[in-house]
Amino acid sequence: MTAQTSVQNPLPFFVKDCVLSTISTGEHAGNLIEFRDKLLTIHEGCIYHHFWGGHLRPMFIDPEYQNDFAVWAHRALHDNILAERLGIIDPTQFRSQDDLRGAVIEVVENRLDESEEINNLKINAHFYFVRSKIIIFTTPVQINTPLDLIKIVPFMSTHSIFYHFIDARRRSNEEWDDFSLWLQSYGNEFQELISQIRSVDPYFFTLPQLKKELIKVVQKYFISES
């Protein structure tokens, strides 16, 4: 979080930006059994990266499935049953990356139990396990009052949105975004806005869409207030 929680004197919201440094594990899976086996031991950073890192990768198409595992099941394995089951796993519902890993493994093992044959993929269709480290930058921008969100959010980079809205969830004990945590420092005054921001599900938006959604929520709140 970027501000202290004090009703009397809330601090400004300091806007930060970030990049991911992407690291290959050298591990890849060419069929579903290999995939399950690698999942059991792969670095936990891979679990985070393949659920969230896709937001920061170049892409055009609105993702049909919301994480890399589901996309692979769909595009490479052509197993839409598996893709749908993996796609619905919501990473925000798990307390740790290991719990999330367990949920993925369970879905895969169930699918293995149902499968009569295991298809081997060409090397260029393998699943490659990647993890990342996050580099965080300060910016000269700060949001002094909640009303300033209207002015500042439209000019925030998508990486900044990623940092404050997505990555924030693994930094705070409450597992919420930085915006709503900062608004809490105003006591109950912005409870409705907090609730609306928290109702935005980051998992189903690309970053530009997520930014638009946040702008919409903030604008709607302050316009209706005025």
CB of 119 to another protein, least distance (A): 18
Question: With CB under 8 A as the contact rule, which of the stretches 11-19, 78-86, 183-191, 217-225 interacts with another protein?
Answer: 11-19
Q: Does 128 bind another protein (CB under 8 A)?
A: yes
The residue ranges of DSSP E strands in 38-172, in sequence order, are 127-143
- C-alpha 127/C-alpha 138 separation (Å) is 34
- C-alpha 1/C-alpha 86 separation (Å) is 30
Task: Choose which of 75, 78, 133, 216 interacts with another protein (CB under 8 A).
Answer: 133
Task: Choose which of 29, 39, 86, 134 interacts with another protein (CB under 8 A).
Answer: 134
Q: Which is nearer to another protein, 41 or 199 (CB)?
A: 41
Question: With CB under 8 A as the contact rule, which of the stretches 83-91, 107-115, 128-136, 142-150 interacts with another protein?
Answer: 128-136
Rg (CA), the chain: 19
Q: Which is nearer to another protein, 85 or 159 (CB)?
A: 159
Question: Is residue 136 helix, strand or coil?
Answer: strand
The CA-based dihedral angle spanning residues 72, 76, 78, 84, taken in that order and rounded to the nearest 10 degrees = 0
- C-alpha 29/C-alpha 47 separation (Å) is 15
- C-alpha 182/C-alpha 140 separation (Å) is 18
Question: With CB under 8 A as the contact rule, which of the stretches 91-99, 134-142, 183-191, 210-218 interacts with another protein?
Answer: 134-142
- C-alpha 72/C-alpha 34 separation (Å) is 13
C-alpha of 125 from chain center: 24
Task: Choose which of 126, 179, 190, 194 interacts with another protein (CB under 8 A).
Answer: 126
- C-alpha 156/C-alpha 23 separation (Å) is 26
**Site for another protein (CB under 8 A): how many residues?**
29
Query: Which residues inside 14-73 make contact with another protein, applying CB under 8 A?
Result: 16-17, 19, 21-28, 45, 58, 60-61
User: From residue 137 to residue 166, what is the string marking binding to another protein with x (rule CB under 8 A)?
Assistant: xxxx----------------x---------
Question: Is residue 97 helix, strand or coil?
Answer: helix
> Which of 166, 216, 196 is closest to 56 using CA atoms?
166
Q: Which is nearer to another protein, 27 or 213 (CB)?
A: 27
Task: Choose which of 8, 9, 41, 124 interacts with another protein (CB under 8 A).
Answer: 124
Site of interaction with another protein (CB under 8 A)? 16-17, 19, 21-28, 45, 58, 60-61, 123-124, 126, 128, 130, 133-140, 157
